[in-house]
A and B are shown apart, each in its own frame.
Chain A
Amino acid sequence: MQRHDLATDDLRSLNAALQAQAAHTNQTEWEVLNPRGAHAIAVGLDAPIDVTVNGSTGYYCAGMNKQARIHVTGSAGPGVAENMMSGTVVIDGDASQYAGASGHGGLLVVRGNAASRCGISMKGIDIVVGGNVGHMSAFMAQKGSLVVCGDAGEALGDSLYEARLYVRGSVKSLGADCVEKEMRDHHRAELGRLLAAAGLDHDPGSFRRYGSARQLYHFHVDNAGAY
């Protein structure tokens, strides 16, 4: 176990050490103490290592993650796991705005609530939120799945492309071009896999699915007057 205490060690040396891990490193277990809301903890990792952050983090924790499994035992500030490529990020508490934004792959689990713009412009990442998500979540989401076990705020999935949205609770409102869609067997199977990966045992049958009506993909002559 490698241990970095941010009360005494500086953040750059922590990130440099984490980023320096090779694919076959023997140093696979890392622990970060006293994060106290610091920014950019455990960013840019590219090795199959486990990092546990004991406490709450500030902006951009676990950004650009590849391969690593990062676990934050507190809450995360804005932009957690932004632009993740692969790996897993788990937040035991809440996540602030734009969690998992722009992510290409991997799994982000927020056990508490995620604030506004969760999964904005997601491009293949899977996000599972144990609680609620705020307004404009999955705005312009292109690929991947957003699972919300609680309620979704206003304008869910506005200008959505091909991402799949599963919500167990209420949806305050759907954004432009986002509609409820039929839940088919392969959706239930996918949802079941994601819930299991997140350690949640909700019945996939208790969720509703939302997706793109695909009406904004191309110019439509009836909309000419709007330009």
Chain B
Amino acid sequence: MCGIVGLFTKTEALRPALGQHLSGMLVTLSDRGPDSAGLAIYGAERAGRIKITVQADDPARLSALDIPGAEIRVIDSHAVLTLPEEAAPEAEALLRATPGLRVMGAGTRIEIFKEVGRPADVSRRFGFDGMQGTHGIGHTRMATESAVTTDGAHPFSTGPDQCLVHNGSLSNHNSVRRRLARSGVTVSSENDSEVAAAYLTREMAAGKDLGQALTSALDDLDGFFTFVVGTRTGFGVLRDPVACKPAVMAETDDYVAFGSEYRALAALPGIETARVWEPEPAQVYFWEA
């Protein structure tokens, strides 16, 4: 199971209500994944600033964070730190090394919020409804390959402004994890989907664009998958060749939307006249702003 939703805007029309649409889509798919839920949203960027999203089981830790030059916005168990680009690597390293804190993701635009719980509760806790941006990807999880924890919740971010959500299960994630480790990429959780995220990060770090990285994933990743992937300006979709995990897409002049089921898309503006289709197996789809 698991449910995936994604929305990539091509015009301004949906951007002020992006979070509201994504939240509605996510809650609609609650019965595909009641264990945990999460959202990666690509909002406004500020020149020379990096955002780091960090999570703590004890939120008191977040308001007490002392990172020089950082503005801190606490939202439930998460905080978004905005700080000068040059200070970001050191701050991120410090946050990652601090027990009890988890870095969810970092970049100029990405913010990631994910927790254990039903999608409606997770959405309410973080206020998904009020979030704005150009694109976002959400996931509601029915756990299979690792435990029901914040670490096991999607989206996974393993590179700057990158995120991935996954419906399925990878069968060669341990060997890919070892290969990634040998090339200097460590995967922090036991989760198979995070391996896929790290794999794409490595491929893109080697110079591939999102489309090329997804194409190589078809050769290197084995198992069941429907992936939806975000980058700073891009949005990609890939299904494995057997394609037993469901996927529906819709496109209008204003947006591209992804849902595990049509239900998730049914409330989108203009869906009645949108081009709605099932993405082909083993075919890479991606859009860049």
Contacts and interface: CB of A to CB of B under 8 A. Distances in A.
B19 interface: no
A96 B278 contact: yes
Kindly name the residue among B241, B277, B278 whose own CB sees the greatest number of chain A CB atoms within 10 A: B278
A116 B281 contact: yes
Interface in B13-62: none
B262 A58 contact: yes
B153 interface: no
Contacts of A135: 241, 243, 281
A58 B262 CA distance: 7
A56 B262 contact: yes
Given A56-B276, A97-B243, A77 B281 contact: no
A77 B265 contact: no
21 contacts: A36-B263, A36-B266, A36-B267, A37-B264, A38-B263, A58-B261, A59-B261, A77-B261, A77-B262, A78-B246, A93-B276, A94-B277, A94-B278, A96-B246, A96-B248, A97-B243, A115-B278, A134-B280, A134-B281, A135-B243, A135-B281
A59 B261 CA distance: 9
B65 interface: no
Contacts of A75: 262, 276
Interface in B238-253: 241-244, 246, 248
Interface of B: 241-244, 246, 248, 261-267, 276-278, 280-281
B135 to A, nearest CB: 22
A56 B264 CA distance: 12
Interface residues of A, number: 18
Given A77-B246, A78-B246, A97-B243, A37 B281 contact: no
Contacts of B244: 97, 116
> From DSSP, what is the main secondary structure of chain B's interface residues?
loop
Nearest to A76: B262
B278 A58 contact: no
Given A37-B266, A115-B243, 11 more contacts: A37-B262, A56-B266, A56-B276, A77-B246, A77-B262, A94-B276, A97-B243, A97-B246, A116-B281, A134-B243, A135-B243
Contacts of B262: 36-37, 56-58, 75, 77
A134 B244 CA distance: 12
The 6 closest A-B CB pairs, nearest first, are A37-B262, A37-B263, A36-B266, A37-B266, A115-B278, A56-B262
A37 B266 CA distance: 7
Contacts of A116: 242-244, 281
A58 B266 CA distance: 11
Q: Which of A37, A56, A77, A94 has the most CB of B within 10 A?
A: A37
Nearest to A136: B242
Nearest to B259: A37
A8 to B, nearest CB: 15
A116 B282 CA distance: 12
Nearest to B276: A75
Contacts of A77: 246, 248, 261-262
A105 to B, nearest CB: 26
B263 A58 contact: yes
A37 B261 contact: yes
A127 to B, nearest CB: 17
A97 B243 CA distance: 9
Nearest to B247: A96
Contacts of B265: 37
Interface string A92-118: 011011000000000000000001100
Contacts of B278: 94, 96, 115
A58 B264 CA distance: 10
A115 B265 CA distance: 19
A34 to B, nearest CB: 9
Contacts of A115: 243, 278
A75 B249 CA distance: 12
A77 B278 CA distance: 10
